[in-house]
Amino acid sequence: MNTSYRTVAVLQRHLRRAVSLSSYALLFPGQGSQYVGMTCKLQDLPGTRTIFRTAERVLGYDLQSLCLQGPREMLNQTVHCQPAVVVGSLVALQQLEAQSPEVLSGCTAAAGFSVGEITALIFAEALSLEQGLQLIKTRADCMQAACEEMSGSMLSVVGLETEVVQSLCDQANAATTPPPKVCIANYMFPRGLVVSGGSDGVRCVEEGAVREGGVVKQVAVSGAFHSSLMSSAVPKLTRLLETMDVTMPRLSVISNVTGRPYSSVEEIRQLLADQVTQPVLWEASLRGILDNGPLTFVEVGPNKQLKTILKRINRDAFKSCISVTV
């Protein structure tokens, strides 16, 4: 049995176990989950060809070749990896639809981490594929430009309470002048946070977190995402979103900024633009979905990062979580 058939067989077994639960929530990964070779096993699906052709037309380059062949350094650039992650997730959706359409018809909620939120909105038909790709292209270009304008970094801090990490950020901001300042950028899981901002301030937080007994790790990104260092991207995204025919999603889509479902088209436009400077409330987003009753989470896209995070939030939900990878 080749690898692709084994993947399908495993997926089908997991779905059969989950059939007793009445609904599903789809999770879409963000930047950092990409890898060279992604989608290689799903090239024969008709939807894959359509998605990549549309991506090439909108983006202006051959994303399919970049995903399949690299080079890795180019794929990992912000300007390329954000479209790659979203397109990879959309291709994984084609596999899920082909093998288990009942999951899509039974889906009641969707959430995406950072750029993955745009994937969720495309899936929920709030944005067309073309609009979503244009938004991702502009978002990635603007964030890449912001990284080049002002250097910054991100730091994972595990094992410390939020109040402790916030205090370390406050101390770093008081000690480092002038700005850019540091802030908590991602609320991942209990005692699991990511700090973002100017490199000097992030180093101060790192030193303080180690003293407090935290486990720290530099995040492999090119800048200080979800912080004020991305402010230059907001006006451009706002202008673009104002021109787009955004509609209310056909199912509940959770905003990274509020941790709650979107309630209006105006809120989608505003929060998608603001999202690049605001923290990702990921733990709150998943807990909000779980509060609405029993369901099965399905992570759709490259790698299994979101399932790993889910284990720190709700172990029962983690045990039933299905991964549909590319």
CATH code at position 179: 3.30.70.250
Q: Are the CB atoms for 66 and 98 separated by under 8 Å?
A: no
Same-domain check for residues 129 and 156 = no
Domain ranges, residue 13 = 3-148+229-324
β pairing state of 192-197 and 182-189 = antiparallel
Same-domain check for residues 250 and 136 = yes
Same-domain check for residues 78 and 159 = no
Same-domain check for residues 79 and 112 = yes
Same-domain check for residues 84 and 204 = no
Per annotation, catalytic residue among 100, 114, 153, 252:
114
Between CA 193 and CA 236 the distance in angstroms is 28
Scan for tokens 């889906």, then name that residue. 107
pLDDT at 22: 64
Q: Are the CB atoms for 28 and 111 separated by under 8 Å?
A: yes
Same-domain check for residues 212 and 260 = no
pLDDT at 46: 85
pLDDT in tens, the chain (326 residues): 344 444 455 555 555 454 444 699 999 999 999 999 999 999 999 899 999 999 999 999 999 999 999 999 999 999 999 999 999 999 999 999 999 999 999 999 999 999 999 999 999 999 999 999 999 999 999 999 999 998 899 999 999 999 999 999 999 999 987 778 999 999 999 999 999 999 999 999 999 999 999 999 999 898 999 999 999 999 999 999 999 999 999 999 999 999 999 999 999 999 999 999 999 999 999 999 999 888 999 999 999 999 999 999 999 999 999 999 99
Same-domain check for residues 47 and 183 = no
Spatial strand order in the sheet of 192-197: 182-189, 192-197, 153-158, 215-218
Q: CATH no. for residue 111?
A: 3.40.366.10
Same-domain check for residues 155 and 137 = no
Q: Are the CB atoms for 78 and 147 separated by under 8 Å?
A: yes
Same-domain check for residues 207 and 80 = no
Residue ending a domain, among 169, 195, 221, is 221
Burial 102-124 (b: 16+ CB within 10 A, else e): ebbebbebbbbbbbbbbbbbbbb
Exposed / middle / buried, residue 182 (Cβ in 10 Å: 0-12, 13-18, 19+):
buried
Domain count along the chain: 2
Active site residue 114: yes
Residue ending a domain, among 221, 254, 270, is 221
pLDDT at 12: 52
Same-domain check for residues 158 and 214 = yes
Same-domain check for residues 96 and 155 = no
Per annotation, catalytic residue among 226, 227, 255, 323:
226
Active site residue 22: no
> Would you list the DSSP string of 193-224?
EEEEE-HHHHHHHHHHHHHTT-EEEE---SS-
Distances (CA, A) of 64 to 57, 92, 291, 312: 12, 14, 39, 34
> Would you list the DSSP string of 80-139?
HHHHHHHHHHHHHHHHHHHH-HHHHHTEEEEEESTTHHHHHHHHTTSS-HHHHHHHHHHH
Per DSSP, 176 falls in state S
Same-domain check for residues 299 and 171 = no
What residues form DSSP beta bridges with 324? 300
Q: Amino acid identity of 30?
A: G
pLDDT at 159: 98
Between CA 320 and CA 18 the distance in angstroms is 7
Instruction: Tell me the CB-side half-sphere exposure of residue 269, using CA atoms within 13 A.
Output: 15
* CA-atom Rg of the chain in angstroms: 19
Look up residue 97 and give its two tokens: 């639809």
Residue ending a domain, among 221, 237, 272, is 221
